[in-house]
């Protein structure tokens, strides 16, 4: 989660903590609707950036995997071409085939390792992004619910005060 989103959540926490508490229930408070809605709008605008970052990570992973595959294919083609050129003597041919197989095996091992690392990195990055977004969304929902409840309580309390 970006620091902007974290700062906005901290602002919401601060507003709730500093808000005027109703005498009849210390867990209810009065908040400035425009300020809260403004912060929620900013938070809504910030979260797509985090999602864009996650998408870029996926694209980078795909690029790395495609590049590794191209490199492996090129290495394999080079090894095969080399093996075809040295067909004049059986011993040289056998050595070339062994060397080509070694190169292909090395390339395939490297591709597998790069793929494993990219997959692990992507999974970690997506997990962190998912957790951040889920936590932010949960906090926003909770704060919005508390805000609505406080506003509802405030509206219910107003008519009673006029009648007295």
* pLDDT above 80 for 137: yes
pLDDT reading at 122 higher than 80: yes
> Is residue 153 a contact partner of residue 22, using CB atoms and an 8 Å limit?
yes
Beta bridge partners of 21: 29
CA 81 to CA 73: how far, in whole Å? 12
**103 has pLDDT over 80:** yes
Helix (H, G, I), strand (E, B) or coil at 27: strand
Q: Which domain holds residue 110?
A: 3-163
Whole-number pLDDT of residue 90: 73
Angle at 35 between CA 46 and CA 141, to 5 degrees: 60
The pLDDT of residue 3: 64
Q: For the chain, what is the domain count?
A: 1
Q: What is the pTM of this model?
A: 0.34
Task: Judge whether 118 and 104 are in contact, CB under 8 Å.
Answer: no
| Nearest of 113, 111, 115, 122 to residue 59 by alpha carbon | 122
Tens digits of residue pLDDT in 3-21: 677 888 888 888 888 877 7
């Amino acid at each position: 989660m970006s620091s902007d989103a974290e700062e906005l959540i901290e602002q919401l926490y601060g507003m709730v903590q500093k808000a005027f508490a109703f005498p009849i229930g210390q867990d209810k408070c009065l908040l400035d609707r425009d300020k809260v809605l403004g912060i929620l709008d900013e938070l809504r605008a910030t979260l797509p950036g985090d999602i864009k970052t996650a998408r870029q990570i996926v694209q980078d992973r795909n690029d790395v995997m495609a590049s590794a595959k191209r490199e492996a294919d090129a290495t394999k083609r080079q090894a095969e071409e080399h093996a075809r050129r040295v067909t004049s003597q059986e011993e040289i041919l056998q050595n070339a085939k062994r060397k080509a197989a070694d190169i292909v095996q090395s390339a395939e091992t490297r591709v597998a390792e790069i793929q494993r690392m990219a997959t692990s990195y992507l999974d970690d990055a997506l997990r962190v992004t998912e957790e951040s977004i889920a936590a932010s969304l949960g906090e926003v929902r909770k704060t919005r619910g508390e805000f609505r409840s406080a506003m509802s309580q405030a509206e219910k309390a107003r008519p009673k005060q006029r009648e007295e």
